[in-house]
Structure 1
Amino acid sequence: MVWTVTVPDVFWKFSTSLLALVLLVTGVAGEVVWSQHAREREVDLTAGGWADRAEPPVSRSLDRTSAPLAGRTVVIDPGHQLGNHNYPRKINRLVPAGGFKKPCNTTGTATRGGYPEATMAWRVSRLLRARLTDLGARVVLTRTSNRQDRWGPCVDERGRAGNKIPADLKISLHGDGNTASGARGFHVIAPTDRARWTHDIYKSSRRLALRERAALRAAGVPVANYIAGGDGLDFRSDLGTLNLSDVPTVMVELGNMRNPRDAHRMTTRKGRATYAKALTRGVRAFLG
């Protein structure tokens, strides 16, 4: 004998609605958990590697003419490019670097865990751009992506960035790869006095270096313990990014990526925010 059970329409509709609600809630929860997991890992799963999808928020008020940095232009140079290692012939070709030639670019370094310098510089640069934009500045980046299928730009293009605008200053952001035991900390590199190349900007660049050093120190970032002098300043004549600039410029090695403590700061949102806040204070101090 077969028993037939008739389920009332009302009960059936209620059951299916409840099931749909449960599936919806669990689905949303899964999306939230997965999205949070992806954010914590900070990996762009659609592009592979350490590329980025989203820009940090930039608040844009209707009237920013009275903002502290209104009318100012800042160039930010995020060191290297994530895909440089995929284009060895392109990045190894020689380009002008200020009276001599150097390779177009390099691959950059990485933490011991594989977090690339290019990605660290890119993420700090975007945070810095957001802060400066909020203060009224016009901000120009020397590269606008962080992708495995891109390379460059070369050091000569980076060096000349901002010359024709003209910008008020330029900051190039990097991470060091020193393998000496215990080597850690930031240092700021400024150009030396070179006739025909940096004579017109070396003094103002030194002032910018001093402002950025003071701001990073005040933020609790340790000064490099492996650079001669031990004061967090370095002056070099061999960098095309500095030699070809006609505006005050510095290169900031934010830390040693091979050092665990520096690497922790560079690979966390809180650490990168610390860098961006300090660099912003340095820019404001320099521009008065």
Structure 2
Amino acid sequence: MTKLLALLVAVLLVAPVGAAHAGRSADAGGSGGSVVEVRGAPATSLETTEKPLDGKVIVIDPGHQLGNHNFPEKINRLVPAGGFRKECNTTGTATNGGYPEATFTWRVSKLLQARLEHLGAKVRLTRVANREDRWGPCVDARGRAGNKVHADAKISIHGDGSYTAGAHGFHVIAPTDRRPWTHDIYRTSKRLALDTRAALKGRGLTVANYIAGGNGLDFRSDLATLNLSDVPTVMVELGNMRNAGDAHRMTRPAGRATYAAALAAAVRRFVG
């Protein structure tokens, strides 16, 4: 009798522990309990990084090159531009304080590259440095850069240099319909231009007040960078470097980050 009583007490003491353990296992597999790590799988979905641009290829064209002014013979030679010929490149403009357009476009392009790669895109730049001992590439090479890698989009980044009194703001340039050069891309390029304008405005930037139409869009047929592209492409003048307000933004890290964030949003909206 004494042995039987001892056995019953032992069973009663053990049973609640086993029941409690079973309850925790059920909670872990349900919606309200702890996370149980499974070997070979992440402990939580937060470890999975979103890559909305995975598999996309984007070409960024940082306008000009810092050393172009040191190679006048090379940048002044004529190259194909889409049914006509024009100069290989130019020196670009600068702020009144001497901050070069080439440096501005390079720094914005590198910020944009980092953002797009973080989103999963493969990014190709038309130049790989910003140096006084380098020149080019020519506008025909820039125009065809997206074709070689079957890019989903190409953005050429610039700063304007208008001396018109009070001229400020950004504008986006897209190709016109020119057979056989741009007939296959002018519609998609216009959509990219609209997305780019919307993204820049969304960051609080104002459209140019010195471009015909006043809506921040310009359609041109004289730019090799656009004419020779077989992929959707735009050229964006992010501001007027001769304007004090625009120059203030362009020469500061926070301002360049704003431009890069807007352009990344535009690309994501267009190709995503």
State TM-score, norm by structure 1.
0.77
Structure-to-structure mapping, 1:49-128, within 5 angstroms: 67-128=51-112
- C-alpha RMSD of matched pairs (Å): 1.1
Q: Is 1:248 paired with 2:232?
A: yes
Runs of 4+ in 1 over 2 A off after TM superposition: none
Deviation at 1:63, TM superposition (A): 8.2
Correspondence for 1:264: 248
SS of the equivalent of 2:148 reads coil
State TM-score, norm by structure 2.
0.82
Aligned partners of 1:164 and 1:254: how far apart in 2? 26
Aligned partners of 2:130 and 2:119: how far apart in 1? 25
Deviation at 1:287, TM superposition (A): 1.1
Correspondence for 1:37: none
| Equivalent residue for 1:187, pick from 134, 148, 171 | 171
Structure-to-structure mapping, 1:1-288, within 5 angstroms: 67-288=51-272
1:224-255: CA deviations, max 9, x gaps?
00000000000000000000000000000000
Code of the aligned partner of 1:180: T
Correspondence for 2:27: none
Query: Structure 1 unaligned runs (5+)?
Result: 1-61
Aligned partners of 1:63 and 1:238: how far apart in 2? 46
Question: Which has the larger Rg?
Answer: 2
Code of the aligned partner of 1:251: M
Aligned partners of 2:271 and 2:132: how far apart in 1? 36
Count of residue pairs brought into register by the alignment: 226
Identity %, equivalent residues: 73
Code of the aligned partner of 1:120: F
Code of the aligned partner of 1:206: K
Code of the aligned partner of 1:83: G
Deviation at 1:164, TM superposition (A): 2.0
Aligned partners of 2:110 and 2:48: how far apart in 1? 22
Query: Structure 2 unaligned runs (5+)?
Result: 1-46
1:185-224: CA deviations, max 9, x gaps?
0000000000010000000000000000000001011100
